[in-house]
Structure 1
Amino acid sequence: MTQLLLTTIINERFLNLDVSQYTSSVSAIHHRLEQSENEPTGWLNGPIAMDSQNLYPILTMADEIKKNAEVLIVIGVGGSYLGAKAVQEALTPYFQKNEDGIEVIYVGYNLSGSYMKQIIDSLQGKEFYVNVISKSGSTMESSLAFRVLRKYTVERYGEEGKERIIVTTDPEKGLLKEIADTRGYRRLEIPSNIGGRYSILTAVGLLPIAVVGVNIVELMEGAKKAALDLKEESLEKNEAYRYAMIRHALYTQGFRIELLASFEPALSYIHEWWKQLFGESEGKSRKGLFPAAVSYSADLHSLGQFVQEGSPILFETFLHFKEVSKDYSIPYTIANDDGLNYLSNRTFNEINSISKQGTVLAHAEGGVPIIQIEVEKLDAFHVGYLIYFFMKACAMSAYLLEVYPFDQPGVEAYKKKITELLIEESVAH
């Protein structure tokens, strides 16, 4: 069965795509990815190599946390939290804790004193664990949050507190590894050949995802299926490469913004993870599409006008899961005072799907190029498949732009300036 279907609706005046012009470059990039030995591409075959034996330590630790705590605090920024948060939001109930998991909350991705104070206040009287995630341990937002929370953990639990702190970091080096070794904190490893934004399918994402109650075995099975499916070199057979090719072709036609759109609120953090993945991977050397996202139908009433008739600088990628687990029927009323009885034989999900179809048609007729990514079901297996699909497509897309997908040199600029200002202020005081 096809796990993911990629289709396009593109006005011919924007794009007359000759697939053959990409064949040689895609083939060369494919072989570069598959044969790389000294690149941070461990994620490529990670799902294939991951089995129940590899997952056992993570599952065991997750069970311990669920047994002994009400809350897991995850400390991380960027790739150290967005992936886990994305899967949590996509696969757990909107308004109540999953029966198989506990509350997982995130800190260390902002510098808000109010947010930190409320986190600490919320932990009063609750049992908790802390999972700090960082490859280097030197990112300011996460490091400051960890300083606060390890102090609070010691105050609450004394010497036993070190058993409630789990460090996910580089296996061989880094400040966080040194702290863990010195303090006796337990460690999970971020493979040295996998960078942060490609690390969701490692302990970085898998421990929080397991704690919240999502089946990580099924998640990894979906990713494994994608890893095997997407080993195809052919553009006709590899949907990830086709997506990368279409994005690149539209970029060469002058489009500068890709708008990821979905009609399910649970996917909002999939959007956020996708934005970091493509933004940090492609935005270099004054190149790259700007990754933006909208959640419909809400954003049809805010940005819909611009998309339909505004500056022709963007194209849309619609993400749609055909089957969502829960639904609600439209009730019939005798009065019919709102005139909606004609919909009483429908469900919300059916109307949502039709709304998606209507929006796609309207935007396409308005001249907006459309890419559609349709996935069979919103469950752990298919979300795992989608995550791998996007990562493989992103690597190909960046190389088509002739930029390196696995670094983020521009991020260091703001870090350097902030540190300089903080040192200057400290000296002044």
Structure 2
Amino acid sequence: MAIKNKIDFVCDQVINQKVFEGKYKEIIHSINEKIKTNEISSQKNLGFLHVKKNIQKSDYSKLQNILKFFNEEKIEVLVVIAPEYICLQSESIINLVDTHLKEDSDIDILFINESYSGIDVANLIKYLENKRFALNVISKNGDDFESLIIFRELISLLTNRVGRNNATKYIYVTTNNNYGRLFNW
């Protein structure tokens, strides 16, 4: 006996323009104005809106040197381990900023956030087994438990491949301070 009921979704009018303009247009406009004038309560997370103003020349120079090193070492993948909002901001910056970093490099950048499951981490390790990769761990305090677990597993893979002393060349830690478990691996 075959199932005869079928559900069809028609999505060509998901948002009614009149309802949107009447109810939400002013709310969205108000939020956008607050963001532009830095009057929003969570403005500390909006630094990505002014990327060019927030990046110093010395930081840009460091990034260029790291990219040069990655190209010399034939790094194929950069794994960025960070909280989800930082992953989203970082990926947005890479997609929006007008630089030659993307054009001059064949390096894949993988953003790994704290919501990765054990299966996801296992699949990531399997993917990286035959790749030359580097790590960038971004943490506010160096003690994010979920990030530390993922970091530990990837460090193990990296040290098994290139040795503990050489592994340090491929690890970058970005944090607000210079302490925490990330610095004691």
Q: Which category of TM-score, normalised to the shorter sequence, fits these structures?
A: 0.5 to 0.7
- Displacement of 1:167 in angstroms is 0.4
In 1, Cα distance between equivalents of 2:38 and 2:92? 30
- Displacement of 1:110 in angstroms is 2.6
Which residue of 117, 120, 128 maps to 2:122?
117
Partner of 2:150: 145
Label 1:155 to 1:108 Cα distance change in 2 as closer, same or farther (>3 A): farther
Label 1:141 to 1:98 Cα distance change in 2 as closer, same or farther (>3 A): farther
Which residue of 64, 70, 74 maps to 2:80?
74
In 2, Cα distance between equivalents of 1:47 and 1:173? 25
- Displacement of 1:118 in angstroms is 1.7
Letter of the aligned partner of 1:72 in structure 2? L
- Displacement of 1:10 in angstroms is 5.4
Superposition pairs of residues 19-98 of structure 1, within 5 angstroms: 30=37, 40=44, 43=47, 47-48=52-53, 50-68=55-73, 69-86=75-92
Higher relative contact order (CA 8 A, sep 6+): 1
- Displacement of 1:79 in angstroms is 2.1
Whose Rg is larger?
Answer: 1
In 2, Cα distance between equivalents of 1:84 and 1:41? 12
Runs of 5+ in structure 1 lacking a partner? 1-8, 34-38, 92-96, 184-429
Label 1:42 to 1:121 Cα distance change in 2 as closer, same or farther (>3 A): closer
Partner of 2:108: 103
Q: Is the 8 A contact 1:73 1:131 kept in 2?
A: yes
In 1, Cα distance between equivalents of 2:38 and 2:110? 40
Q: Is the 8 A contact 1:108 1:143 kept in 2?
A: no
In 2, Cα distance between equivalents of 1:89 and 1:150? 28
- Displacement of 1:164 in angstroms is 0.8
- Displacement of 1:174 in angstroms is 4.9
Q: Is the 8 A contact 2:76 2:106 kept in 1?
A: no
Q: Is the 8 A contact 2:138 2:174 kept in 1?
A: yes
Label 1:54 to 1:121 Cα distance change in 2 as closer, same or farther (>3 A): closer
Letter of the aligned partner of 1:109 in structure 2? E
Partner of 2:22: 14
Runs of 5+ in structure 2 lacking a partner? 1-16
Partner of 1:360: none
Letter of the aligned partner of 1:78 in structure 2? E
CA RMSD of aligned residues (A): 3.8
- Displacement of 1:80 in angstroms is 2.5
SS at match of 1:162: helix
Partner of 1:131: 136
Letter of the aligned partner of 1:67 in structure 2? E
In 1, Cα distance between equivalents of 2:157 and 2:112? 14
SS at match of 2:22: coil
Letter of the aligned partner of 2:81 in structure 1? I
Q: Deviations over 1:263-282 (max 9, x none)?
A: xxxxxxxxxxxxxxxxxxxx
Q: How many residues align?
A: 153
Q: How high is the sequence identity, in percent, across the aligned residues?
A: 21
- Displacement of 1:135 in angstroms is 0.8
TM-score normalised by L of structure 2: 0.63
